[in-house]
Structure formats: structure tokens, C-alpha cells
Chain A
């Protein structure tokens, strides 16, 4: 597949935020392919250091997709927010398409015999989390944003605080409460 120009992706992202639904349809395969190739390289290579891997994965996908010089977003924060949103959509679609859902087809679980590449709770079902997150948005919009930025966008506490224009202390508190709220929500579903 011919690589999309960074310019093209930037245009699509902008169109999508402006409310153009068809832009998302064009964006998704582009992001997916990029994710695919970056993920493969990350898995093949630096398996020894998974924090580095996460950052590499998220940052590389963004950096390769978006021509930063051409981004005339209002600011960096907006860019992060949009990216996290986009990533959420794409990851959920991916998980749904592969049937990585409750008990259906293999939940994301890492065997203990293998070196722990990714520390991951056995039942983190991404599709279910997305659903619970929607309910949380109804109760407390900002907390759901915190989760979106942290979990789907891969942002740090500090970056999240910057995007939401609140203190890091607030992000820490929101994050803590949001997690227990979501867990309770998920446990009630089963």
C-alpha cells in the first residue's frame, strides 16, 4: 500500500474534528496500517523494555501520521485530545472486529510462564471498558476524558493535566476514582 502523505492525514484529522464522518472511514485504515507496522517492529525489537515500547508505539504512530509542521491546531493539547479520541475509536473497532470480547475469543492475557512483557490484568476487555466509559461520561465527563487520555491516548499524568487544563493533583484524584468506578461498573455487568 502506498504510504499516505503526512499532509493527507493531517487534513483528514482536521476534517474529522470538524464533523466530517467520512474522514474517519478514510483515516482508520491508514492508522491501522501504521499501527500494524510500528507494532510489529516494536514486538520484534525492544521487547526488553516495555515502557519504552509503549511510548515508542504511541509516539511513532502519531509522529509518522501527522506532519507536525503543518498542524495548526490551537495547541499541542488539542492535538493530544483528538489523537486519543481517534485511537479509542480505532482500537475499539479493532478489538470488536477480532472478537476480543468477553469469553468469546481469547481475552488479552499473558501467560505467567513467559517473561512478563506486558503486565496486564486478565480481564481487561477493551470493548467492555469502552462501554463503561460511556456511562462514566454521563456521570462525570471530565473523569471519562482522563481515562480516555491516559488509557487510550497513552498520556502521562502531566500531559493529561495539560490537555484538560487542570492540576496534576486533580488528574491523580480523577484517575483513582474513575478506575474504581469503572471496575465496579464492569463487575456489576457480569
Chain B
């Protein structure tokens, strides 16, 4: 081609390519004049424009690289067959997946041959850090022991440094294929699926989230047992140098079709993530379809649908979705697989099952089932013909929404309650009539218990944080009590019902205690009355059934609730008495029925005693009890290293010790305890970054370490530690503005930062933090006006602010702050006259006031 011709083509191409189709035709006709050849040349080039956008954009080396890598992997796989890894002889390759390759292997050094699945994790980073985390995860996963979870037997690293896991070898097919191949009815499918839920729930109780639940990971054996595979493996894969980054570095560790919105968006993962994936799997098991219509399953289409589109009603999807490239099976044949017809299938699915699935598939994690067990419960309720919570849930959810929109219409809540309770009345009456039909009666009683539960928890909790819902909540609690009394009258000394009744009294008592309003309506007093009733029932039950350990354990729980409510009421002698009596019973019980649970409770009693002792100013005794608790907790945790509960116990002892040692002015020892606690709380938050309780622990440790170091005069880490505490705490407040506790914590953190800076002589800066703490406490007090703890902490903040101001030569604002503190402390002490801590703090406020206008005394600390 001639050079000038080519230049002409180039010039016209670049001008034409910018134009839209219609203009382009016009442009070409005009520009080419009669030169047909030129026009055809340009048109043929422009015709490729759309296709060319992605063309060659992936460098060749990358395309080849993948092929090379695949080849290399296949070679490796082949080399592995016949070799021995640890005690396992590799027999054949079973398959490969996102995380690595799986082989069938045989445990070689035993008399009998045991087949196992050996999984190589050859996608992870094999840094020493990875290997260390891998070991930790492995130990935790190995502790999962459930009939529906494939066991993890062993693991390690190969000679080449590749980590591997040895798991139970399951011969089975994916749950969806199993259901279809065996033509299981909807009822049988549900039964099978409930097994899966219970396995997932079990793992959740061990704080392990699956993150990649899909039919391929749920194999069903020829005997009809579902087995969950690869629990927690997704987590191992995403282990990263920075444990705080877990949830954001996980792209690709899940399967898009079964992923939840939060996984797609890279948001925080929780147990609700698994509930969502369970929902997708159940959707597929029941309907043969996936919840979203995505014409060709293009990943971005699917991702958008998961995040934005409401899933189609299962009853509609199964029967009315036309066959497409994705939904190949016709409604007729998928119904046949379920031993039914399209009409009957639609009828079966519509109503309860639709609602159950839609609830599991809610976009917002907090609106899904609260647990896999709750999902299973609903499926079982459906199977028994009982009402399902998904419908009740939407009802109270909608009601709550409605109340939120119409604060004036709170009476609506009362109406809803009336409807619910009239149902309850009918049930009670029926139960009375049907006493001879014992089975039926039991079922109905069960339903009533559930209803009472649902009122006390679901409904109460759903309206709890609504402004102006106090009256409705009051009604819920009062009515629940009335029903409980009725049940008690019906109970006729039936131990099981009495036990439930005691539990219900305790629950209502706890609601009262949580409301914690010593002045308004005397809720702590009411809590004590309720606990007293529960205690009486429990004591009678124990007396009548002296060999029933479970009843004794219940009693211990009630006693510590009692002690806690005495503490809250400021009656410290009473609290101490209950804790000591509890400890006595525990020691007696230990002689005959020693158990881990009991030891854990004994440690709890020591902590309780220590808590009261330190309030009374008896630091030596408190520290002694805390050391006893720590020794127990440590031995429990050593024997069961994967138990987060026991590890939490160890943390609690360290944290308490740090606090009391600090009060006792033993700062170096306090700092050492804080560091031990910090080791645990950092580990726990890394394991479960969304657990707000663990976050609170972490904040507590940073803060107390920061304070102890500041008092001890070693300043180098102080700012950094407090900064961390403020950062985490600030994020918590931001994510949940209604959480009063988080805000009170946040105020406290700011106060500590101020004190630390004060000790470091950055007076102006310190004052800024104290002012901030003051503002937050004021805000907290508006929402929660009767908390003594918050009041005293607030007063402490004001004392610090006042003393800093005195040193900054601002005597007027100093005396204002100190007088406010004095007044608040006087009130608190009046409510809890024996509290030594309150008394000490009040004395401090008065000393500071007397020292005005020139406070030069060294900072008194407590």
C-alpha cells in the first residue's frame, strides 16, 4: 500500500471513530467522495472497533503464564501419586478447586486402611506468617466434631513447604444432585437440609464461619447423610499479613452464585453470611433455580443482582421462569424430580416457604435469620404445621418500621400485642381442655413458650431502641408476666415447666435490670423481686431433685444474677454474700460432680467477689481472688486451647487484675497484666473482627495499658496506644450511633487519653480530650440518665478537667467543673452509700475544690 494512501486512511479512521453510527455513514460518504475502495477499507476497519476494545489488552505473558502455571501444577500432581505425605500414601487425584487440589490417600501405617481426602493448599502465600496462622486455624477446625461436618484429621506442610489438610473422605454427591437423583419430595429435602443447618450452627457456636457454602461443598452420602466440607478453609486462604484486613482481602475465596451481598461488596463477614448462602442452596434445592435471573451468568450481572435485585419468589421461580441458557430444566421435569406437578409445587412453596427463603436472603445481614438454627427451627415449624417466624418476623419488622414512621401511632403496637395475646389465650384454654391429648397439649405449650419468648425478645428487642416505645415495651413485659403466672398455675409442679418459669422470671428480671432505672419505676428493685421468685423456684427444684446437676447449675446462674443486681443497687454486703454462698455451693458440687463448666463458674465467683472487694477498697483480697480465678481459667484454657470461652475467661482475669492493680497504684504490675490481656484480645478480634464484644475488650486493654504506663512514667507508647483505642472505639460509635454503651466507652477512652496527656504535661491537649469526654458523657446521660457508673466516670472526667484548668490559670471554669463533679458524686454515693470508689472520688473532687485557685498538688490517681 502506498504510504500516502495509508496516511489518508489513518487520518479519516481517527476522525470517523469518534462519531456515532449515523454521523459516521454521512461522514464517510462525504470524505471519500467517489472513492469506493477507500470507503470499503475504512468501513471494514471501523466494523472491528467494538470488538477491538478488549483485544490484546491482556499482555501475552500473562496468558502464557497461566498456561505454564497450569501445566506445572498438573506435572506436580502427577508426581505426587504414589508418594507418601506424612503417614498418607497418595492414591489418586479427586479434583481441584479454587483452593488447591484434592487427592484420595490412604493412611499407611495402620493395620487397617483408612481412606482420607488430602487437600493441598497451593494457592496461599507460604510465608512463615501464613504457616503460623495456618496451624492455628487448623487446630481450631480440628476441634469441630459434628456428624454432618467432614472431620479434619490432620495437617502439616509437605517437604516442599506446601500446607495440606487431611480430611474425612466422603463418597457422595452434591446435595442438589442427590435430591434430584433420588427424586426426594419437598418434605424429604427439608429434612436433609435441616441437617446442614445444624452443622453450620454448630460451627458458628465455635465461632467458625464457612464463607463458601454451596452444593459442591455439601456432599450427601448414599445413606442420605449430608456432610459439610471445607469448613473455615476460605478463611485460611485469605490469611493476610494484616489480620485486620480479613474481610477486604477475600475477593475470589467464595463462589459468586452463592455469595452474599456483603461478600460481593467486600463488607464485613459474619455468621449471617453463611445464613444467606444456606438460603441460596435451599432455594436451589427446593426450586431447581438460583434466586436471581441473570441471563448468562455474567459475573458482573450476577454481582449487581445479588446486591440490588430482590430475589424472585421461589414459588414463582420454580414454575413460571421460562427455560433459558441457565435454567435449562423445564418446570415439568423439575417438578417430576420432586415427585409432584408444577401446580402442586407452586402451592407447596408459596406462603411459608417463600417467606422463609426470602428472610434468609435479605440483603441486610441483620434482617436475616439470627442463626442457622433459627432457619432450621422455622423449617421444622413449617413441617409440623406450626406458625413460622419468617412471617411473624416480617410482621413485627413491618410493625417496627411503621412505629418508626409514626411515633404518634404507638397504640398500633398495643393493638398488635392484643392480637398476639388473644392467640395465646386461645392456646392456654385449648391446652386446658386437651389435657388428655397429652401430645397435642405439649405441642401447644411449646408454642406458647415460643410465643412468650418471641414477645420478650423478638418483639421487645425490635422496638427497644425506638424513641417513645417505652409504653409498648412496658405492656409487653407486663403481659408476659401475667401469662407466666397463668402458666405457673397450670404447671402443677411439673419440673420442666417450673424450670422454664424460673428462666422466664430471670429473663424479665434481666430486661428490668438492663433498663436499670433506680429512680424511674425502680427497675433494679423489680429485677430483684423477679430474681427472688426465680431463686425460690430453683431452690425448691434443687431440694426436690438433689441429684440433678443441671438444676444446681441453673441455681448458680440465678445467684450470680442476684449478686449483680445487689451490686447495681449499691448493696455491696448483699452482693458479697450471694457470691460467697454461690462459691460454697460450687465447692460442694465439685466434690461429686467436677466439670470444666463448674470450674469456669468457680472462676466467675472469684471474679464476682473480687469485684465487690475492690469496690469496698479491699484491694489485697480482690487481687487474691483474681489470682485464684486466673489459675482456674488458665488451666481450663490449656486443656481446651480452641475454646474461645475459656480463653475469654483468661482475658477477663487479666483485665480485672490490671484494673485492681492500677487502683492499688501498682502500675508496673498492672501494665504487665494489661499486656497479657492485650495478647488475647488482639488474637480474638483478629479471629472474629465483627464481634463487638471482642472489640470492647481490645479497647479496654489498650486503654488500661496506656493509663498504667502513663502513671508509671514510661511515656513512649502512651499516645500510640490511646490513639488505637480511640480509633477503634470511634469506628464502633459511628457504625452504631444508637449504642449507648459504645458511646460511654468512647467518652471513657477520651478521658483516659486526656489523663495520659495531663501526666505527660501536655495540658492544653489534655484539656481538649477531657472536654470531648465531657460532651459525650452529657449526651450519654440524656439517653441513659440513671447509670451510676456513667455518672461517676463523668464526674471523674470533670475532676480532671477542673484540675487541668486550675493549672492553666482558669480558676472560674475549674470551680464550675469541680462543683458539677461534686454534685454528681454526692448523688451517686447517696444511691450506693457503701461504694468506696464513689467515696474516694468524691473526696478527690472536694480536695481539688479546696486547692483552688492554685492547685499544685501532684495528680492523685485511682
Contact = CB atoms under 8 A, between A and B. Distances in A.
A162 to B, nearest CB: 17
| Chain A CB within 10 Å, residue with most, of B51, B61, B67, B123 | B61
A40 B72 contact: yes
A39 B69 contact: yes
A58 B59 contact: yes
B716 interface: no
Interface in A65-112: 87-88, 91, 94-95, 98, 100, 108, 112
A58 B59 CA distance: 9
B169 interface: no
A54 B69 contact: no
Interface residues on B, range: 35 or more
B54 interface: yes
Contacts of B61: 35, 54, 57-58, 61, 87, 91, 152, 154
A63 to B, nearest CB: 14
A89 to B, nearest CB: 11
Contact of A154 (B59, B125, B297, B298): B59
Nearest to B297: A112
B62 A112 contact: no
B249 A48 contact: yes
Contacts of A18: none
B65 A57 contact: yes
Nearest to A151: B56
A50 interface: yes
Interface stretch (B42-50, B451-459, B569-577, B706-714): B42-50
Interface stretch (B10-18, B26-34, B429-437): B10-18
Interface residues of A, number: 57
Contact of A183 (B52, B249, B299): B52
A180 B62 CA distance: 22
Given A116-B299, A124-B56, A184-B48, A39 B68 contact: yes
| Chain A CB within 10 Å, residue with most, of B14, B60, B252 | B60
Contacts of B98: 114-115
Nearest to A49: B251
Interface in A113-169: 113-121, 124, 126, 129, 139-140, 147, 150-154
A1 interface: no
Contact of A126 (B63, B73, B126, B297): B63
9 contacts: A35-B64, A100-B67, A118-B63, A119-B54, A121-B55, A124-B63, A126-B63, A129-B56, A180-B52
A183 B54 CA distance: 11
A38 B252 CA distance: 21
Contacts of B66: 39, 43, 108, 117-118
Given A36-B68, A173-B14, A180 B63 contact: no
Given A54-B58, A58-B59, A98-B67, 7 more contacts: A43-B73, A117-B66, A120-B58, A124-B63, A182-B56, A183-B48, A184-B44
Nearest to B257: A113
9 closest pairs, A vs B, by CB? Answer: A43-B69, A39-B65, A154-B59, A180-B48, A183-B48, A179-B52, A39-B68, A151-B56, A39-B69
Nearest to A117: B66
A61 B125 CA distance: 19
A61 B47 CA distance: 37
B395 interface: no
B723 interface: no
Contacts of B123: 44-45, 47
B65 A179 contact: no
Interface in A22-57: 35-36, 38-40, 42-48, 50, 53-54, 57
Contacts of B62: 50, 53-54, 57, 118, 154
Contact of A177 (B14, B47, B55): B14
A87 B60 contact: yes
B860 interface: no
Contacts of A88: 60
Contacts of A183: 48, 51-52, 55
A190 interface: no
A120 B62 CA distance: 10
Contacts of B13: 177, 180
Nearest to B76: A40
Contacts of A150: 56, 59
Contact of B55 (A39, A40, A114, A124): A124
A42 B68 CA distance: 11
Contacts of B63: 108, 118, 120, 124, 126
B320 interface: no
A48 B52 contact: no
B65 A45 contact: no
A142 to B, nearest CB: 11
A168 to B, nearest CB: 15
Contacts of A180: 13, 45-46, 48-49, 52
A161 to B, nearest CB: 17
Given A120-B58, A140-B6, A179-B56, A91 B299 contact: no
A22 B249 CA distance: 46
A155 to B, nearest CB: 9
B297 A177 contact: no
B157 interface: no
Nearest to A38: B65
A24 B96 CA distance: 37
Nearest to B71: A98
A126 to B, nearest CB: 6
Contacts of B46: 180
A113 B98 CA distance: 11
Nearest to A100: B67
Contact of A36 (B10, B49, B72, B252): B72
Contacts of A57: 61-62, 65
Contacts of A94: 64, 68
B122 interface: yes
A126 B63 CA distance: 9
Contact of A115 (B122, B126, B299): B299
B172 interface: no
A177 B10 contact: yes
B59 A177 contact: no
Nearest to A39: B65
Contact of B17 (A38, A91, A118, A176): A176
B448 to A, nearest CB: 49
Interface in B750-773: none
B252 A48 contact: yes
Interface in B98-148: 98, 122-126
B550 interface: no
A98 B65 CA distance: 13
A95 B66 CA distance: 12
Contacts of A42: 65, 69
